[in-house]
Structure 1
Amino acid sequence: MKAAQTSFFDGGQRLQMTESIELTLQSLQAYGADHPHWGIAWSGGKDSSATLTVICWLIDSGRIAAPKTLTVFYADTRQELPPLAIAAQHIMDELVERGIRIEVVRAPLDKRFMVYILGRGVPPPNNNTLRWCTRQIKIDPMEQALRDRLGELDGNILMITGVRQGESAIRDRRIEMSCSKDGAECGQGWYQQVLPNAAGLRGRIATLAPLLHWRVCHVWEWLKHWATQPEFGDWSTATIADAYGGDEAEEINARTGCIGCPLAQEEKALENILRSPAWAYLAPLRGLKPLWRELREPQHRLKKAGIERLKDGSIAKNPQRMGPLTFAARTMALDRILEIQRTCNAAAQEQSRPMIDLINAEEEARIRELIAAETWPDGWDGDEPRADTVMPIVYQNGAVQPLLFVEDMR
């Protein structure tokens, strides 16, 4: 017969877990009191959700003193996997019940992922020269929300993030170089007095990653078994595991991204969801990634016909670079996405499951408005040839290689 766990901090069978929480507690005690206002950057994913609910529990249980104000900034990219978005809504309801302020942070309408691609005609992002999505739909809106909130507050703010050592090798190297920045001790969280990439906020904002040292198994343990219990907050965090593969999430070390993420090689997160009978009705979402790949093809885009001078007078490195989506391509993609949405929602109604809105009514109206207004990205006017048009090659130095065997190519 298993012995009862008498206290959260007694150790025993869960010694490693309690040590992780103890270090998180020390981190918040070390730096929290220096900042009258706290903000929590929350994406709805596993790490930031664990960070959010642990901190709320530590405050509710009296283990750390509550700040003067606490604001939760929820980064709503409009591209989250449905189980994560649904879990986030439930957790927001629970935050409201606790009287905690929530700021839902979204990109402006014209810069949202679907509107930017289908309305303005910017091609889907890629990992080489056009990775615009993360900054535009998450980082920039979050920085603006922070600026707006700081304008309402006196004093500085401690911005708390869910960054963990081990989440990504690239991020780990950055953490390694900064782990002792501003006097932070190893294991006390990654504390920095300046928020990276936030010009103009210097001196009024610092960041802290109090779960930096948590292992992924601790994150799952907290979300699936601890946070859901009344003594630790009774949070709706178990649903988050569905988005990462349920009980197998820890073993596959799953991560999630946007639905049909154009930057991912494989659609692992969506496939993890579809293995569950409860979410199988979302199978049409598999059509998004092939669509983004298709839209990168030349027949759906324009290209520059020759030498292109930039605003500073210099010559573009690629004189015949491919550019924006044609109106026909945008309309085709819009119709296909709306059909995917309709198919999912018809099944959702039949099965009494949650419905989705890849493109809501406001976004659809704006996309159609931008297309009707013949909107092009900066530097394009729509008179450029389609990218699959065969024409002489123009080099950056102005040299032209004429077409050979023109008769045979017609």
Structure 2
Amino acid sequence: MDLQTKVMAAVAEIAEQYCDSETVGRPWAVSWSGGKDSTTVLALVCRALQMLPASKRTREVIVIMSDTKIENPILEDYMRRQVRAVNRWARQNAMPLTAEIVSRPIKRSVWVGWLGWGWTLPTNGDDRYCTHALKIEPQNQRLTDVNPCLQLIGSRTEESTRRAATIETYREERGSRFTVSPYSDGRRIYMPIVEWTTDEVWQVLLNSLPWGSSDEIRRLYKDATGECALINPGGSVKATQACGARFGCWVCPPITKDRSTENMSSKYEWMKPLTEWRQLLKDAHNPKKHPDWRSGYRRNRTPLGPGKGCLAIHARKYLLTELLRAQEDVNKLRALDENPLHRAPIELISAEEIELIHAAWEEDAVKRPWLIDDREMEPGDWDRAVLRLAEKEVVRKQKRAEKKQKLADKAYPAVTI
């Protein structure tokens, strides 16, 4: 199937689902990150609405974008302008579509957590709590309010092996573009471009979007990869997949090297303080570089040992001082930028967050002296911590062995061929 036919089929299917008589009166929700895949899905939804007569545009479509408050500044500015552009297009064309931005409450922001309460950083393993806390949780709260009969997302099996496995786990049936949300009871998810390739996504984005030009999103990906993010429309040259760049939080701890921010900082001088502070944050949690910056305890006074646990209060104070210095340096450099859109000062951390952080320090200093620094450790705490961790590891190994044995002993029914 050629791409034009594929696009027409996707738009027709979206229009058909939109007019589903069994869910009349219930809204749709579109999850939009501002990236290439979710933007393609939103463009297809808008095209579907355009092809329907006004009398059939009776279902509300809520477009939801999550703001982590630590987004790449260039991407955050782009996202907010795109939301305004989409809403303007919807108003001018009498479309039942509204785009909005949701975020985590300030008192639960990562700055209050990391710099105020001394939380340990998320990793790229099972404790990568930031994605759920900053993106999924605020969006799910809004989805609960909206109660959509269908949530449209831009997931594709080609994105990664992990994403493909997740899609297969929750698909209603093999090859289906519908899944069930793992975060709610029964909410259906629709993936219009689940089997599309990266090349096909970019072929679509070579054209204008219903609400405006697609030039900026292509330029963003080019800046993030340091390579040309456009592919050959004729298909005579194989795409390099450079268009699959990662966009996200400029301070993201789980990734080893943030190539998108670093590539952008080579073009935009004002982004260099961001990459430098991000490395400082990672170093602060590295016991080899700063052995006395971790308190050795959890907040509930569970001893973990040297170089582990929450950040000590003095380390948190240093990081906030350096973050404010980075913010000042960023804005001095932005004032010199050639692009007028980049000259306005930005706020890396809000005054309300700083106030909450100071309050957290004061509370910890009074109520949790073991978080001041590792000198507060009591005699024998390290030994007890090591013993407790060793005991937990033994229990984990036993549980894994028992589970493996149960699977080995399971009787499988005979299959008649």
Contact 1:84 1:239 in 2 (8 A): no
Whichever residue aligns with residue 239 of structure 1, its letter is E
Q: 1:384 to 1:339 in 2, by over 3 A?
A: closer
For residues 361 and 213 of structure 2, what CA distance do their matches in structure 1 show? 41
Aligned length: 352
Whichever residue aligns with residue 18 of structure 2, its letter is G
Structure 1's unaligned 5+ residue stretches are: 1-14, 151-155, 310-315, 400-410
Partner of 2:65: 74
- Alignment partner of 1:80: what SS? coil
Contact 2:43 2:210 in 1 (8 A): yes
The answer to whether residue 44 in structure 2 is matched with residue 44 in structure 1 is no
How far off is 1:375 after superposition?
Answer: 7.5
Partner of 2:322: 336
For residues 8 and 280 of structure 2, what CA distance do their matches in structure 1 show? 47
Q: 1:346 to 1:290 in 2, by over 3 A?
A: same
Whichever residue aligns with residue 303 of structure 1, its letter is G
Instruction: Judging by fraction of residues, say which structure has more helix.
Output: 2
Contact 1:37 1:70 in 2 (8 A): yes
For residues 76 and 370 of structure 1, what CA distance do their matches in structure 2 show? 24
For residues 252 and 66 of structure 2, what CA distance do their matches in structure 1 show? 17
Partner of 1:210: 192
How far off is 1:147 after superposition?
Answer: 1.3
- Alignment partner of 1:393: what SS? helix
Partner of 1:233: 210
Whichever residue aligns with residue 291 of structure 1, its letter is L
Contact 1:20 1:214 in 2 (8 A): no
Contact 2:27 2:60 in 1 (8 A): yes
How far off is 1:178 after superposition?
Answer: 4.1
Structure 2 counterpart of 1:248, from 212, 228, 238? 228
Contact 1:308 1:319 in 2 (8 A): no
How far off is 1:213 after superposition?
Answer: 1.9
How far off is 1:24 after superposition?
Answer: 2.0
- Alignment partner of 2:309: what SS? strand
Whichever residue aligns with residue 382 of structure 1, its letter is P
Structure 2's unaligned 5+ residue stretches are: 92-96, 231-239, 391-417
CA root-mean-square deviation: 3.2
How far off is 1:131 after superposition?
Answer: 1.9
Contact 1:53 1:235 in 2 (8 A): no
- Alignment partner of 2:359: what SS? helix
- Alignment partner of 2:192: what SS? coil
Contact 1:262 1:293 in 2 (8 A): yes
The answer to whether residue 154 in structure 2 is matched with residue 133 in structure 1 is no
How far off is 1:384 after superposition?
Answer: 5.4
Structure 1 vs Structure 2: percent identity of aligned residues? 24
For residues 371 and 114 of structure 2, what CA distance do their matches in structure 1 show? 18
For residues 228 and 323 of structure 2, what CA distance do their matches in structure 1 show? 30
TM-score by length of structure 1 reads 0.76
Q: 1:364 to 1:55 in 2, by over 3 A?
A: same
Q: 1:236 to 1:302 in 2, by over 3 A?
A: farther
How far off is 1:334 after superposition?
Answer: 0.9
The answer to whether residue 314 in structure 2 is matched with residue 325 in structure 1 is no
The answer to whether residue 100 in structure 2 is matched with residue 103 in structure 1 is yes
Partner of 2:352: 362
- Alignment partner of 1:74: what SS? strand
TM-score by length of structure 2 reads 0.75
Partner of 1:93: 84
